[in-house]
């Protein structure tokens, strides 16, 4: 090839063009690239094709990853391919052929928007930029550069190719020869250098020699002098299968192919390389067979058989390798499944005859290479080492290597398949495919710290893995059972870490009681709703809906949920997904499931390994003695190891050798545990540890701390609580002289923690989890070894610590408050707090319930009601009705019941609390006002709006007197007063109160407080009620946007602002937008509050109005009926409740729209009667319902009565709302309609919708 700069020879740039689509151009490029690479050439394909399929689609089975593009080439490509429109190009896709020296790199620029492909007909580049790209492509360490140009004859494209290429291969079907020749002439006219033209006749019909010769002669005549001196014309025979799949004909066709496909591609290769001697190697029958199998073509070549050897710790890699090889057409087995044993590192491998090993063609052997597996003893097979980690031994000395260290999934698959000359279709990532690439990491994980000393359990883990995979991609569940201390939790934890790559989400639940399990689900819900998956808590700390979301496959396709210590099956009712594509793992010593896996004591060899690995120079014989002494129980073994390590170190410090130290320590240990021979192994070892720790002050304090923590949650105790002043004070008080140092130096507690950790009495996580944890069996043993008096003292100490740690009523440190209450919630039941008679503990429990009300979701609140009622009954029975803390507990329980949508129960509790408080306290005492404020909320929920208004007025004035206008309680009372005024029919008064409230909250709390923007939301609601729709929309938009900025994505405050914004959009006739926005809010409310909560039902009614507004009357009827049923049923509202009336009016209007006018008249009339009875005739809701009655009466054909009804309604609207109110204007419009000449056609009527508000 010539070089325009006169330099040395360089690789040619060959462009493939076609004047029309369907010419087989891209197929020719892909097949030629394959042919050249199989001949050992390094090929670069610049993929600019404008039609599908593209070059990568043809080469997909051979993809091996990405390769870096030289910086100068990257800049040259960008300069030509329009930088403003193209993503920066830095890599190429690499494709490697089985057993071939060459490779193919594909460069495919993309337009960023939508990831589409680049179309060169919009590109304009300078002559210099094109020249630079030409030179750079020709010197980019490739032997050949192929360009798949866009289809067509657009001027800029042709000009670019004419200047860029050395050879132009013009592709065309025989009937397109005229257009092809014209394209060739256009190229010749614009070429600045020599440009050779090679006609490529595609889809050539070999039906007869005479016809074929005539066709080729026609091509030669049309191209004439455009063809270079060699006169090369290449014809590619027509193959019907190319119309269905992007496959490579050079690889697909047999060696004795009569159509001579391979021969023609060799001619094309010779023509564009000017190398007549180029040799395209034959494709082996094995490779061709495997390629044809991809496209479903039957072959007679037997599949590759592969044995996979692995250590149990590397099972995830073995599963992944088998899945990849099987997708490539191989048959696989593990050695165990093939009748061959597998040995861990350091062991021997016994081989057993297997059918695969006895066959004439032996299988391939893949060994997952790690430090955990000894080489299989199979001298007849040469291993292929699957290297998944770097080991100290370095690379293997025998066999071949497939290196998978630090590569991503696609590269790893390609390397493994290519090594065995296997091919698979383009690998699309399946979100539910098992198993995944082991280097993949879950999106969301919450697990206890991994045990670095985990040993053995190979059989149990293999069995558990097989059980989970036996369910395919569907839901799987398994229970691990066995006696306490046998290692169920450790086994489940190791499984979760070992196979974490298979899951998008992994979550660990402590399930020893219902409250703890529900709290774990609530925490999961918060993390699932956080878009950044951070640890930051959101204001609503709980919802149990995530379990349903996982069952439905929302957000996380594959998940693993571990429920630890679920000894009571009732604890998990409703807390486990009943569907989905995940795995559930339960640990329990009380499993009733026949399919549960029983976890046995450790095998002797594993017990010995655990001991000898941790205890320096412990002999195997001594290890066996220790293991036998503790019955091979994993917990006892772990505790024994910790004791022995300390004992050995003590001996070494006084000069003993390592062997002597280990021998002495073993004898001392055996003597001590033998003295406890009548007890369980854990009892023996725990007593031994405790006695050893009592030999020094830090040890005695560690024992004291462990005894106190024995009355706390086995889930763990936060170090913040352990280090708290209250805990230190108790340790000092109970520790005597030992505790003196703790009084003066806070670091002393960490010395105590480390001492207990060294001896294994407890574990301390100093990192992310920051907690102290005792095994629950150790807790049981510590409690059992205390006298009755000691137990009472330790429990009392613990409860005093918890009560002092709890935030008090006026604690405003939000982040610290939430953290402390969440920690305390773990200990409420196990500590015995519910039975305490200490007033400070009882005060804590009252405030703990308050926290569950203010920060807990519906699931948390629901779970709290039963124990809270039991606690209240217990206190009333013990202290009588005059107990102030019982009254405060009743008030907080009423808050919870009201939040759950049960105002009747809440009112009963509030009335009882107020009756006591008003007898023992002044009527304006803050505690009395707090209860009265709650009672007003109960009255609003029951539809007693005027009674609520009286209570709220008195409460607001009382707070102003006792605490001042700016106190947060006074501001909350003002918010409630405005709400009652609005509900009672005075939105103007409500607006005045709330505007003052908003101004004060903005001044005092700033713009980052949700309460500030809740006030803003309420202002928007009252503005809308007054007919100020535009102002209301602006106000609500501001509130919504500011709440979003506070990242309250699952908070009811934000959802309510969004909901009322949608209602206002409907009022302004933005019906479609309103419907979409209401749908989003309704989905979130269903998740957050449940289907039957009053707020969810109210939002559903709004959604029904939206459907009616856009013409979906049938859906509107269905939704309205469901709301009415919910208000009567689960919400248990009385028939004369105003919300029942509003729902009936909405249903009637929807029935009218659905042409069920007779039912509509009765339903609207019933709703109007309720509203008149409860609210009177002048309330705006009643006025709106009177217009609705006229509307349905007119639809029923009684025009005269409708005219009278709407006339009266219009007059009332003018009198009570004013002439300019939108509802008045609608009434006037409807009056004009009913008085018009076409009134009987029921056209032009407008509805006045009234949405159910929140109370």
Q: What pLDDT is stored for residue 283 in this prediction? A: 82
Question: At 333, which helix (H) or strand (E)?
Answer: strand 331-334
Position 1131 confidence tier, pLDDT thresholds 50, 70, 90? confident
Strands 144-148 and 13-17, by their bridges, are parallel
pLDDT for 677 beyond 90: no
402: left (phi over 0), alpha (psi -120 to 50) or beta: beta
As a whole number, mean pLDDT of residues 1227-1244 equals 79
If you ran DSSP here, which 8-state letter would residue 362 be given? P
Q: What pLDDT is stored for residue 281 in this prediction? A: 86
Q: What pLDDT is stored for residue 1167 in this prediction? A: 94
Percent over 90 (pLDDT), the chain: 46
pLDDT for 717 beyond 90: yes
CA distance 1169 to 1177: 10
pLDDT for 134 beyond 50: yes
| Burial of residue 433 (number of CB atoms within 10 Å: 0-12, 13-18, 19+) | middle
pLDDT for 5 beyond 70: no
Q: What pLDDT is stored for residue 354 in this prediction? A: 58
CA distance 953 to 955: 5
Token digits for 109? 């620029």
Q: What pLDDT is stored for residue 353 in this prediction? A: 38
Position 102 confidence tier, pLDDT thresholds 50, 70, 90? confident
Average pLDDT, the chain: 85
Q: Is 883 helix (H, G, I), strand (E, B) or coil?
A: coil
Q: What pLDDT is stored for residue 743 in this prediction? A: 86
CA distance 561 to 492: 10
As a whole number, mean pLDDT of residues 61-81 equals 76
Note the residue count of the chain: 1255
Position 209 confidence tier, pLDDT thresholds 50, 70, 90? low
pLDDT for 123 beyond 80: no
Contact between 134 and 147 under an 8 Å Cβ cutoff? The reply is no
If you ran DSSP here, which 8-state letter would residue 304 be given? P
Position 934 confidence tier, pLDDT thresholds 50, 70, 90? very high
Q: What pLDDT is stored for residue 100 in this prediction? A: 77
Position 832 confidence tier, pLDDT thresholds 50, 70, 90? very high
Question: At 104, which helix (H) or strand (E)?
Answer: strand 103-107
Q: What pLDDT is stored for residue 414 in this prediction? A: 82
Which one has a higher pLDDT value, 710 or 135?
Answer: 710
The total of other beta-carbon atoms located within 10 Å of residue 1131's CB is: 22
The total of other beta-carbon atoms located within 10 Å of residue 616's CB is: 15
Q: Is 134 helix (H, G, I), strand (E, B) or coil?
A: helix
Q: What pLDDT is stored for residue 523 in this prediction? A: 83
Q: What pLDDT is stored for residue 986 in this prediction? A: 94
- The pLDDT tens digits for 1105-1121 are 999 999 999 999 999 99
Q: Is 562 helix (H, G, I), strand (E, B) or coil?
A: strand
CA distance 694 to 689: 9
- The pLDDT tens digits for 941-982 are 999 999 999 999 999 999 999 999 999 999 999 999 999 999
- The pLDDT tens digits for 19-56 are 888 888 999 999 999 999 999 899 999 888 878 888 99
> 111 to each of 78, 86, 88, 89, how far by Cα in Å?
12, 5, 10, 11
Which has the minimum average pLDDT: 482-496, 569-583, 897-911? 569-583
Q: What pLDDT is stored for residue 1065 in this prediction? A: 95
Which one has a higher pLDDT value, 430 or 599?
Answer: 599
CA distance 855 to 827: 18
Which one has a higher pLDDT value, 274 or 874?
Answer: 874
- The pLDDT tens digits for 983-1026 are 999 999 999 999 999 999 999 988 888 899 999 999 999 999 99
Residues 6+ apart with CB under 8 A from 476: 467, 468, 469, 470, 582, 583, 584
Q: What pLDDT is stored for residue 997 in this prediction? A: 94
Which has the minimum average pLDDT: 395-409, 497-511, 691-705? 395-409
Q: What pLDDT is stored for residue 490 in this prediction? A: 94
Percent over 70 (pLDDT), the chain: 88
Alpha helices in 52-208 (DSSP H): 55-59, 71-80, 127-138, 155-164, 177-190
pLDDT for 420 beyond 70: yes
pLDDT for 930 beyond 70: yes
Most confident of 91-100, 422-431, 1224-1233: 1224-1233
As a whole number, mean pLDDT of residues 752-775 equals 91
DSSP per-residue letters across 155-194 = HHHHHHHHHH-SEEEEEE-GGGHHHHHHHHHHHHHH-SS-
Q: Evaluate the omega torsion of the peptide bond into residue 697 and state whether it is cis, within 30 degrees of 0.
A: no
- The pLDDT tens digits for 525-559 are 878 865 443 333 333 445 667 888 888 887 788 99
Q: What pLDDT is stored for residue 980 in this prediction? A: 94
Q: What pLDDT is stored for residue 394 in this prediction? A: 64
Which has the minimum average pLDDT: 340-354, 370-384, 1025-1039, 1173-1187? 340-354
Which among 528, 547, 530, 548 is positioned nearest to 538, based on CA atoms?
530
- The pLDDT tens digits for 241-273 are 766 778 888 888 876 665 578 888 998 999 888
CA distance 1133 to 940: 12
Name the pTM for this structure: 0.78
> Please, what's the largest Cα pairwise distance for the chain?
117
CA distance 573 to 620: 47
The pair phi, psi for residue 893, each rounded to 5°, is -65, -35
Q: What pLDDT is stored for residue 543 in this prediction? A: 60
pLDDT for 429 beyond 90: no
Q: What pLDDT is stored for residue 1048 in this prediction? A: 55
pLDDT for 120 beyond 90: no
As a whole number, mean pLDDT of residues 358-374 equals 77
Which one has a higher pLDDT value, 207 or 1159?
Answer: 1159
Which one has a higher pLDDT value, 348 or 9?
Answer: 9
């Amino acid at each position: 090839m010539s070089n325009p700069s006169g330099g040395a020879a360089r690789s040619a740039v060959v462009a493939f063009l076609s004047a029309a689509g369907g010419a087989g151009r891209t197929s020719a490029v892909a097949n030629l690239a394959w042919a050249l690479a199989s001949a050992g050439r390094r090929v670069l394909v610049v993929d600019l094709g404008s039609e599908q399929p593209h070059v990568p689609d043809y080469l997909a089975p051979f993809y091996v990853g990405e390769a870096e593009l030289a910086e100068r080439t990257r800049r040259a490509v960008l300069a030509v391919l329009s930088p403003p429109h193209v993503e920066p190009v830095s890599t190429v896709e690499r494709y490697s052929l089985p057993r071939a020296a060459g490779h193919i790199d594909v460069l495919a620029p993309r337009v960023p928007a939508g990831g589409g492909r680049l179309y060169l007909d919009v590109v304009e580049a300078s002559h210099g930029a094109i020249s630079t790209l030409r030179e750079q492509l020709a010197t980019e360490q490739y032997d050949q550069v192929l360009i798949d140009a866009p289809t067509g004859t657009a001027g800029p494209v042709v000009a670019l190719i004419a200047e860029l290429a050395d050879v132009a291969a013009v592709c065309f079907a025989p009937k397109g020869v005229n257009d092809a020749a014209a394209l060739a002439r256009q190229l010749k006219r614009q070429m600045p250098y020599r440009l050779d033209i090679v006609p490529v006749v595609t889809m050539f019909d070999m039906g007869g020699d005479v016809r074929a010769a005539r066709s080729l002669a026609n091509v030669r005549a049309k191209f004439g002098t455009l063809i270079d001196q060699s006169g090369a014309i290449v014809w590619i025979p027509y193959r019907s299968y190319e119309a269905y799949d992007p496959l490579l004909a050079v690889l697909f066709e047999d060696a004795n192919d009569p159509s001579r496909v391979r021969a023609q591609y060799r001619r094309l290769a010779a023509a564009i390389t000017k190398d007549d001697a180029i040799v395209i190697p034959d494709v082996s029958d094995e490779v061709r067979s495997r390629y044809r199998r991809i496209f479903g073509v039957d072959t007679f070549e037997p599949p590759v058989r592969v044995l996979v050897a692995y250590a149990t710790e590397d099972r995830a890699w073995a599963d992944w390798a088998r899945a990849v090889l099987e997708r490539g057409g191989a048959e696989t087995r593990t050695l165990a499944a093939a009748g061959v044993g597998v040995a861990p590192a350091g062991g021997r491998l016994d081989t057993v005859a297997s059918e695969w090993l006895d066959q004439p063609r032996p299988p391939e052997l893949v060994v997952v290479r790690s430090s955990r597996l000894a080489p299989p003893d199979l001298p007849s097979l040469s291993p292929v080492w699957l290297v998944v980690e770097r080991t100290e031994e370095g690379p293997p000395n025998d066999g071949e290597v497939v290196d998978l260290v630090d590569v991503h999934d696609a590269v790893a698959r390609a390397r493994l398949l290519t090594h065995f000359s296997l091919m698979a279709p383009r690998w699309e990532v399946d979100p539910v495919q098992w198993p995944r690439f082991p280097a993949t990491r879950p999106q969301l994980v919450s697990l206890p710290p991994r045990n670095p000393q985990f040993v053995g359990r190979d059989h149990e883990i293999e069995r558990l893995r097989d059980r989970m995979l036996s369910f395919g991609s569907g839901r799987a569940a398994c229970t691990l059972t066995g006696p306490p201390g046998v290692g169920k939790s450790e086994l489940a934890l190791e499984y979760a870490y070992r196979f974490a790559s298979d899951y998008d989400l992994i979550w660990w639940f402590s399930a020893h009681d219902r409250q703890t399990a529900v709290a774990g689900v609530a925490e999961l819900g918060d993390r699932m709703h956080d878009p950044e998956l951070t640890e930051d808590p959101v204001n609503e700390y709980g919802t149990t809906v995530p379990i349903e979301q996982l069952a439905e496959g929302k957000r996380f396709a594959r998940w693993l949920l571990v429920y630890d210590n679920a000894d009571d099956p009732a604890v998990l009712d409703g807390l486990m997904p009943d569907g989905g594509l995940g795995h559930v793992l339960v640990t329990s010593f009380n499993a009733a499931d026949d399919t549960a896996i029983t976890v046995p004591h450790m095998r002797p060899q594993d017990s010995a390994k655990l001991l000898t690995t941790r205890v320096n120079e412990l002999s195997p014989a001594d290890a066996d003695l220790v293991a036998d002494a503790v019955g091979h129980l994993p917990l006892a073994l772990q505790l024994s190891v910790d004791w022995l390590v300390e004992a050995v170190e003590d001996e070494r410090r006084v000069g003993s050798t390592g062997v002597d130290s280990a021998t002495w320590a073993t004898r001392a240990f055996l003597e001590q545990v033998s003295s406890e021979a009548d007890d369980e192994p854990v009892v023996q070892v725990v007593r031994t540890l405790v006695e050893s720790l009592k030999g020094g002050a830090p040890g005695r304090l560690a024992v004291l701390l462990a005894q106190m923590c024995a009355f706390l949650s086995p889930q763990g105790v936060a170090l913040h609580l352990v280090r708290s002043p209250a805990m230190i004070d108790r340790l000092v008080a109970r520790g005597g002289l030992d505790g003196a140092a703790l009084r003066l130096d806070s670091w002393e507690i960490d010395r105590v923690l480390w001492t207990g950790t060294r001896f294994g009495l407890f574990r301390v996580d100093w990192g992310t989890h920051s907690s102290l944890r005792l095994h629950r069996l150790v807790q049981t043993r510590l409690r059992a070894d205390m006298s009755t008096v000691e137990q009472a003292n330790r429990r009392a100490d613990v409860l005093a610590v918890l009560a002092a740690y709890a935030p008090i009523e006026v604690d405003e440190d939000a982040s610290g408050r939430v953290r402390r209450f969440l920690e305390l919630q773990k200990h409420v039941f196990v500590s015995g707090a519910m039975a305490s008679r200490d007033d400070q503990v009882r005060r804590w429990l009252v405030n703990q319930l308050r926290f569950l009300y203010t920060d807990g979701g519906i699931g948390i609140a629901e779970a709290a009601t039963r124990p809270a009622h039991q606690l209240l009954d217990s206190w009333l029975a013990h202290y009588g009705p005059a107990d102030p803390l019982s009254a405060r507990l009743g008030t907080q329980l009423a808050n919870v019941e009201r939040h759950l949508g049960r105002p009747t129960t809440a009112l009963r509790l509030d009335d009882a609390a107020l009756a006591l408080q008003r007898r023992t306290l002044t009527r304006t005492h803050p505690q009395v006002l707090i209860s009265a404020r709650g009672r007003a909320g109960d009255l609003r929920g029951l539809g007693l709006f005027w009674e609520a208004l009286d209570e709220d007025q008195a409460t607001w004035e009382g707070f102003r007197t006792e605490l001042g206008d700016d106190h947060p309680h006074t501001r909350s009372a003002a918010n409630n007063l405005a709400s009652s005024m609005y509900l009672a029919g005075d939105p103007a008064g409500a607006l005045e109160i709330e505007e003052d409230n908003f101004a004060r909250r903005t001044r005092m709390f700033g713009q980052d407080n949700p309460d500030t923007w809740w006030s803003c939301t309420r202002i928007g609601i009252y503005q809308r009620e007054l007919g100020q729709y535009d102002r209301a929309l602006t106000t609500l938009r501001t509130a919504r946007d500011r709440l979003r900025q506070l990242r309250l994505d699952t908070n009811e405050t934000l959802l309510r602002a969004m909901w009322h914004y949608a209602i206002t959009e409907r009022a302004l006739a933005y019906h479609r937008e309103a419907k979409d926005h209401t749908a989003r809010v309704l989905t979130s409310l269903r998740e957050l509050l449940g289907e039957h909560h009053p707020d969810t039902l109210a939002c559903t009614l709004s959604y029904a109005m939206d459907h009616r507004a856009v013409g979906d009357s049938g859906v509107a009827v269905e939704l309205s009926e469901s709301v009415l049923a919910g208000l009567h049923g689960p919400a248990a509202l009385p028939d004369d409740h105003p919300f029942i009336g509003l729902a009936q009016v909405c249903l009637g209007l929807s029935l009218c729209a659905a042409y069920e006018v007779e039912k509509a008249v009765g339903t609207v009339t019933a709703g109007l009667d309720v509203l008149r009875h409860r609210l009177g005739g002048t309330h705006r809701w009643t006025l709106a319902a009177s217009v609705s009655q006229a509307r349905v009466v007119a639809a029923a054909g009684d025009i005269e009565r409708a005219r009278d009804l709407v006339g009266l309604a219009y007059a009332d609207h003018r009198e009570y709302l004013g002439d300019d109110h939108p509802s008045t204007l609608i009434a006037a419009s409807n009056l004009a309609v009913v008085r018009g000449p076409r009134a009987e056609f029921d056209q032009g009527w407008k509805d006045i919708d009234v949405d159910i508000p929140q109370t």
